[in-house]
């Protein structure tokens, strides 16, 4: 579960089934619930069915296809269900392989491409959109997000600057603060963002959740646990089901050695792989071996299925899973592959943690160089760096 998933839920507005090659899952009894399908009376599903019927009748209607794709992307993110991203791509099928489809389709294609970490193709589409529509705020925000995740901070700052005349102050400051927080300007970035949020007045709940979660993570990275807790709680009050928020708060609670709270928080969220992993980590902290074994078996099946599909999006979570299973060598290999693709604070921490567990300081050198180059401020990462030094 990445920062880009959190940001792109806002951008959309402004486990999948196992591979056929994987071993089939056999329920323990006929009474066991495998999946809860949306009720036919669900207004969201009713609206999607209506839009799908319209698009089936008019498959080349660009505006209708884009509307349906946006709805699927938003739902896919809120449900953390990749099937909806596939439905979104299907809605855009008439234009998907065109080198330069209409800008609204191209922007949606970029959003879907980055969701599977196809960053070069996504960046090419975003640049194409902006060449035609240089005042497209959503394209600039998406571009800044991808650049930040990849660690291209100079370009991300430039993209954020273009938002100042196109988006409201809170979005612009959040974009800039996201970069400043990981490039040696954590304290002023956090202070500016907090002040901007407080003076923004009435703001859409989804935007408040995005900003509050970022602020909570900033406080967590400087070991300000009380401040981080308060911000996480404010965000949860606005949206207790936001999957990125639940994962970020669970990570904070695990760091604070509060596993029972994580177990309770995620009791009904285990359909989402990243949240099931965090529950397993909470069970491990509590020494609950029987339920932990069940969660580990389920996670192993899900990660194996993802690998059979060629899905490498969740390498960071898989590295954490391998550490849970005490396989530091495999975790380090996964963390290294993940680091080559994305460079968020969580990517840094799992790489360092795997190197500590593997007692391999040399393997961590790329991250150590990165921290020095960008003056990264992260208390948890600093502790891991010290552990690496002690084990050398």
Cα-flanking dihedrals φ and ψ of residue 60, to 5°? -105, 15
In the chain, pLDDT over 70 holds for what percent of residues? 89
Determine the average pLDDT of the residues in 378-387. Answer: 97
Summarised one tens digit per residue, pLDDT across range 320-378 is: 999 999 999 999 999 999 999 999 999 999 999 999 999 999 999 999 999 999 999 99
Q: What was the pLDDT predicted at 33?
A: 45
Q: How confident is the model at residue 82 (pLDDT cuts 50, 70, 90)?
A: confident
Determine the average pLDDT of the residues in 281-305. Answer: 96
Q: Which residues of 138-154 are buried (b: 16+ CB within 10 A; e: fewer)?
A: bbbbbbbbbbbbbbbbe
Q: How confident is the model at residue 22 (pLDDT cuts 50, 70, 90)?
A: very low
Nearest C-alpha neighbor of 241 from the set 221, 261, 267, 215: 267
Summarised one tens digit per residue, pLDDT across range 256-288 is: 999 999 999 999 988 889 999 999 999 999 999
Ordered DSSP codes for 230-255: HHHHHHHHH-TT-HHHHHHHHHHHHH
* Position 294 pLDDT exceeds 80: yes
The class level of CATH for 45-134 reads mainly alpha
Length reported for the chain: 392
Determine the average pLDDT of the residues in 26-44. Answer: 54
**Alpha-carbon gap, residue 27 to 289, rounded angstroms:** 21
Q: How confident is the model at residue 9 (pLDDT cuts 50, 70, 90)?
A: low
Summarised one tens digit per residue, pLDDT across range 137-168 is: 999 999 999 999 999 999 999 999 999 889 99
Residue 326 DSSP SS3: coil
Q: Which residues of 173-205 are buried (b: 16+ CB within 10 A; e: fewer)?
A: bbbbbbbbbbbebbeebbebbbebbeebeeeee
Q: What was the pLDDT predicted at 228?
A: 98
Determine the average pLDDT of the residues in 378-383. Answer: 97
In the chain, pLDDT over 90 holds for what percent of residues? 75
Ranges of each domain in the chain: 45-134, 312-391
Q: How confident is the model at residue 1 (pLDDT cuts 50, 70, 90)?
A: low
Q: What was the pLDDT predicted at 19?
A: 32
**Alpha-carbon gap, residue 385 to 123, rounded angstroms:** 33
pTM here is 0.87
**Alpha-carbon gap, residue 115 to 111, rounded angstroms:** 6
Residues 6+ apart with CB under 8 A from 340: none
Q: What was the pLDDT predicted at 76?
A: 82
Q: What was the pLDDT predicted at 10?
A: 58
Most distant CA atoms of the chain, gap in Å: 66
* Position 23 pLDDT exceeds 60: no
* Position 21 pLDDT exceeds 50: no
């Amino acid at each position: 579960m990445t920062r880009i998933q959190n940001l792109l839920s806002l951008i959309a507005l402004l486990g999948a089934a196992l591979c056929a090659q994987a071993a089939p899952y056999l329920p323990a009894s006929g009474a066991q619930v495998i999946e809860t399908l949306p009720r036919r009376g669900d207004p969201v599903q009713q609206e999607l069915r209506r839009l799908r019927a319209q698009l089936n009748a008019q498959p080349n209607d660009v505006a209708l296809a884009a509307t349906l794709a946006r709805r699927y992307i938003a739902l896919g993110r809120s449900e953390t269900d990749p099937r909806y991203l596939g439905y979104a791509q299907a809605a855009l099928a008439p234009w998907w392989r065109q080198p330069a489809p209409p800008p609204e389709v191209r922007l949606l294609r970029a959003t879907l491409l980055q969701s599977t970490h196809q960053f070069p193709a996504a960046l090419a589409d975003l640049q194409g959109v902006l060449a035609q529509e240089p005042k497209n705020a959503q394209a600039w925000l998406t571009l800044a997000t991808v650049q930040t995740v990849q660690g291209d901070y100079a370009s991300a700052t430039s993209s954020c600057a273009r938002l100042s005349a196109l988006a409201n102050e809170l979005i612009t400051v959040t974009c800039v603060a996201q970069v400043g927080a990981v490039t040696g300007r954590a304290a002023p970035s956090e202070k500016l963002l907090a002040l901007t949020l407080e003076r923004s007045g009435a703001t859409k709940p989804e935007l408040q959740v995005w900003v509050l979660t970022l602020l909570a993570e900033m406080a967590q990275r400087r070991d300000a646990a009380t401040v981080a807790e308060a911000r996480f709680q404010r965000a949860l009050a606005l949206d207790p089901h936001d999957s990125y928020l639940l994962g970020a708060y669970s990570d904070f609670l695990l760091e604070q050695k509060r596993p029972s709270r994580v177990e309770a928080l995620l009791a009904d969220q285990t359909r989402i792989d990243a949240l099931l992993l965090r529950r397993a980590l909470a069970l491990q902290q509590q020494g609950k071996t029987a339920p932990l074994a069940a969660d580990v078996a389920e996670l192993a099946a899900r990660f194996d299925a993802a690998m059979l599909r060629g899905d490498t999006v969740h390498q960071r979570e898989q590295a954490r899973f391998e550490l849970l299973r005490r396989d530091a060598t495999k975790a380090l290999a996964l963390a290294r592959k993940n680091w080559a693709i994305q460079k968020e604070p969580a990517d840094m921490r799992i790489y360092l943690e795997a190197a500590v567990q593997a007692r391999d300081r040399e393997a961590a050198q790329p991250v150590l160089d990165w921290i020095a180059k960008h003056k990264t401020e992260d208390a948890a990462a600093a502790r891991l760096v010290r552990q690496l030094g002690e084990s050398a």
